[in-house]
Amino acid sequence: MSDNKTKESGKKFNNKGFTLIEILIALAIFSIGILGVASMQILSVNYNTNARKLTEATTLGVNTMETLMILPLTNPWLAPNANPVITDGPYTATWTITPTAIPNYLIINMTVTWTGRGSAKRVLLNCTRS
């Protein structure tokens, strides 16, 4: 089959290549696909940022909790009426100490807060210390 076709009038038409309409339709379809990928990329960056902040807050809380676990029971940070605060960049760790019926046992409730995207976020940690 020849690429050059003859019409009844005797004129030859060259059917090689794409028409302008075909190219515009292909570009429109490609643009829609790229917009979807771009929005997925933005969501991915936001979720990764939130995950990083959550990990950093949890790390601060766990490190502070481990420090509290090795302190002597007479340390002021372990007093039930103390209001200790540790700040590390945008993160703030606060905790409360609750004595138990068992002598020398304490319940430590810690909250690590930070501000992300205009709203306060927090991580809660609990442990019992003897």
* Assigned token pair, 95: 């905790």
Note the pLDDT of residue 80. Answer: 85
For position 84, which CATH number holds? 2.20.25.110
Residue 116 belongs to what domain range? 16-129
Whether the pLDDT of residue 3 is over 60: the answer is no
Q: Tell me whether residue 80 is in a domain.
A: yes
Whether the pLDDT of residue 7 is over 60: the answer is no
Domain total in the chain: 1
Segment 79-108, tens digit of pLDDT: 888 888 999 889 999 999 888 888 888 898
Q: Tell me whether residue 59 is in a domain.
A: yes
Q: Tell me whether residue 3 is in a domain.
A: no
Note the pLDDT of residue 32. Answer: 92
Q: Tell me whether residue 10 is in a domain.
A: no
The beta-strand segments (E) located in the chain are 4-6, 12-14, 85-88, 91-99, 106-116, 119-129
Segment 33-84, tens digit of pLDDT: 999 888 899 999 989 998 999 999 999 999 999 998 898 988 888 888 888 8
Q: Tell me whether residue 73 is in a domain.
A: yes
Find, among 68, 70, 61, 52, the residue nearest to 111 by Cα.
Answer: 61
